Amino acid sequence: MSKVTFFRGQQLPLEMHKVRIIQKLTLLPIEERKEAMAEAGYNTFLLENKDVFLDMLTDSGVNAMSQDQQAAMLMADDAYAGSATYTRLHDKLVEIFDMEYFLPAHQGRAAENIISKVMVREGTLVPMNYHFTTTLAHITVNGGEVVELVIPEGLEVTSDHPFKGNLDVDALRKLIDERGAEALSYVRMEAGTNLIGGQPFSVQNLREVSAVCREHGIPLVLDASLLADNLYFNKVREESCRDKSIREITKEIADLSDVLYFSARKLGFGRGGGICIRDEELYKKMRGYVPMFEGFLTYGGMSVREMEAITVGLDETMDEDMINQGPQFIEYMVTELDKRNIPVITPAGGLGAHVDAMRFVDHIPQTEYPAAALAAALYVCSGVRGMERGTMSEARDAEGVEPLADMELVRLAMPRRVFTLSQVNYVIDRLDWLYQNRQLIGGLEWEEEPEILRFFYGRLKPKNDWLEQLVEKFREDFGDSL
Ligand code: F0G
């Protein structure tokens, strides 16, 4: 894609694949979208997919597969124990990451469950560049404490730092000096750091983190769920990686880590997960939990068909032309939004575009959930489903006090190889219109607030009739258009 220059100098991502299977979409009229949003309690998680035009909720388990993946799924070897399918997956992981042992799991958080049970010691710390929601939950439940050590730029919405997912190595050294190496269960690095906008770390940063860990005998655990995007950024943004192949960069990243786990709903364009381990003793400890929580050691809760797809998907991840579509579409979207002054996380990361609701609707206080309100408004004016990542996603403390989130974001995930550029242009257009009419967007309040994971199931309602006004303005500006 990046290797093609257009005659008139346009900066357009060019897909190196063609689409041969399609799914028809529907776009409801705005009045029906408003109804659907009300039925979903103004929570985009509760929308039915049939009412959604472009589903940008997540890139998890919804990426398009290649014809080779689909073909491999037909050749799966169905056996409870010792299937040839498992051996193929195992051998591919060993080939790519060069770690001796592999344990399968049904998805990423299941791998986190096993790792945390075995590696988190009660009362210890787990420093990391930044947590993911399920990571934090598993570490905490096992008596550990997450310490966020992302570099300061990581939490700045706008920046030109190419690797905002880097870990602050001086802060890590300081923590070890103060608390002693034995107070740390392990250090975790997350590739394509999800919650701060899909931001990558550099290989150089990982090298430094790994050196500190090895000096003090602390294991380094890599969450490779979003590794494909991270690899792309290493290749295009990091001088020392420019002349290396994706396979070589991957090997180097794996060499620096002791344990590597992934959600194959992201890495490998399939559905599943697993853990790669170097140390035999650690492997044996973790192995005991696989039959207990996942399934037998040669499938770990995955279907054999998905395992075949992941094996091929992992191989394809080593091909730059197969992994650059996501980051390049996201970069296009972020650049176009930025040109229209729409506040968005910069530089563009992986995973998706992240709109900054704190600035987009700066008239809505955080206690009225600006990111959730913006996500609801966007769905109503476009049929596009994004995800709230702000105060609504936080949990109240024991006293019932609600923490206000560091960032109020609407995440617009870019499932890989799924949308066309004109669909992305449509999202940009509707966000542009919404930004021009942002004063019409109002706040939300709870109607039904669950105690646990409220952002998944909770139902809200608008503080006043702002959605009616938004629909009215849409009709004024767009006439009969959908
Ligand atoms: N680690 C990271 C970095 C993730 O992004 C996810 C999932 C997980 C672990 C857990 O994996 O879903 O297979 O159990 N992220 C999804 C998302 C849910 O929408 O961003 P899982």
Q: What is the CATH number of the domain that holds 14?
A: 3.90.1150.10
Please count the other Cβ atoms lying within 10 Å of the Cβ belonging to residue 391. 23
Task: Provide the pLDDT for residue 191.
Answer: 98
Does residue 194 have its Cβ closer than 6 Å to ligand 1? Answer: yes
- Whole-model pTM over 0.75: yes
220 shares its domain with 143: yes
Does residue 193 have its Cβ closer than 6 Å to ligand 1? Answer: no
Task: Provide the pLDDT for residue 2.
Answer: 58
- The 10s digit of each residue's pLDDT in 434-450 is 999 999 999 999 999 99
- Choose one of 319, 344, 377: the last residue of a domain: 319
Task: Provide the pLDDT for residue 395.
Answer: 85
What domain count does the chain have? 2
- The 10s digit of each residue's pLDDT in 302-331 is 999 999 999 999 999 999 999 999 999 999
289 shares its domain with 338: no
Is residue 80 annotated as part of the catalytic site, yes or no? yes
466 shares its domain with 370: yes
307 shares its domain with 200: yes
Is residue 266 annotated as part of the catalytic site, yes or no? yes
100 CA to centre of ligand 1 in angstroms: 24
Find how far residue 178's CA is from the centre of its chain.
33
309 shares its domain with 356: no
146 shares its domain with 31: no
Q: Is the pLDDT of residue 1 over 60?
A: no
Is residue 223 annotated as part of the catalytic site, yes or no? yes
Average pLDDT for 150-168: 97
Is residue 24 annotated as part of the catalytic site, yes or no? no
Active site residue: 26, 68, 80, 284, which one?
80
Average pLDDT for 157-163: 96
Token code pair at residue 378: 């966007």
Buried b (16+ CB within 10 A) or exposed e, 84-114: ebbebbbebbeebbebebbbbbbbbbbbbbb
315 shares its domain with 369: no
Contact yes or no for 164/193 (Cβ under 8 A): yes
244 shares its domain with 173: yes
- Count of helix runs (H) and strand runs (E) in the chain: 19, 14
313 shares its domain with 330: no
Does residue 328 have its Cβ closer than 6 Å to ligand 1? Answer: no
- Choose one of 292, 319, 346: the last residue of a domain: 319
Q: Is the pLDDT of residue 430 over 70?
A: yes
Task: Provide the pLDDT for residue 11.
Answer: 87
- The 10s digit of each residue's pLDDT in 24-44 is 999 999 999 999 999 999 999
Confidence band, pLDDT 50/70/90 cuts, at residue 374: very high
Is residue 455 annotated as part of the catalytic site, yes or no? yes
111 CA to centre of ligand 1 in angstroms: 11
> Which ligand 1 atom is at minimum distance from the Cα of 264?
13
State the residue range of the domain holding 44.
2-59+322-478
Find how far residue 440's CA is from the centre of its chain.
30
Active site residue: 389, 416, 430, 459, which one?
389
296 shares its domain with 345: no
Please count the other Cβ atoms lying within 10 Å of the Cβ belonging to residue 26. 10
135 shares its domain with 15: no
Residue 475 one-letter amino acid: R
Q: Is the pLDDT of residue 462 over 70?
A: yes
Average pLDDT over the chain, rounded to an integer: 96
Does residue 133 have its Cβ closer than 6 Å to ligand 1? Answer: no
> Which ligand 1 atom is at minimum distance from the Cα of 193?
3
- Choose one of 299, 319, 339: the last residue of a domain: 319
90 shares its domain with 35: no
Confidence band, pLDDT 50/70/90 cuts, at residue 453: confident
Q: Select from 112, 113, 194 the residue to mutate for testing ligand 1; criterion: most ligand atoms less than 8 Å from CB.
A: 194
Is residue 133 annotated as part of the catalytic site, yes or no? yes
Nearest CA to ligand 1 atom 4: 225
